Amino acid sequence: MIKVVLPPHLKTLAKISGDVDLEVSGPVTQRSILDALEARYPMLCGTIRDHGTLQRRPFLRFFACEEDLTHESPDAPVPADVASGREPFFIIGAIAGG
């Protein structure tokens, strides 16, 4: 089970209060995590990555295990501790905003 931590605005939008536990089938990558997240919470489609290109939205970043994974390939395996559920996958939305 993968644990995902969403920024507060996306929790409100998805009508959830805590973190998200996701079942991800196959290799655990950024793409498979986001696919599973959007499948479970369709209202999040387009808020983290573009509808068409699936590119990450510019002001969002991905962190896990004290590492910035933002610029890793979406198809690269995430750290083993994320894949095993020991560490959460963070989606951070507040780095910029001025």
74 sits near other proteins (criterion: CB under 8 A): no
Q: What is the three-class DSSP state of 53?
A: coil
81 sits near other proteins (criterion: CB under 8 A): no
Expressed in angstroms, the distance from the first to the final Cα of the chain is 35
Cα–Cα distance between 55 and 34 in angstroms, integer? Answer: 11
Residue 17 one-letter amino acid: S
Give min distance, CB of 80 to other proteins, in A.
Answer: 28
Assign residue 97 a region: left if phi > 0, alpha if psi is -120 to 50, beta otherwise? left
How many chain residues are in contact with other proteins, going by CB under 8 A?
24
Binders of other proteins among residues 13 to 72 (CB under 8 A) are 13, 38-48, 51-52, 57, 59-60
Interface residues with other proteins (CB under 8 A)? 7, 9-10, 13, 38-48, 51-52, 57, 59-60, 93-94, 96-97
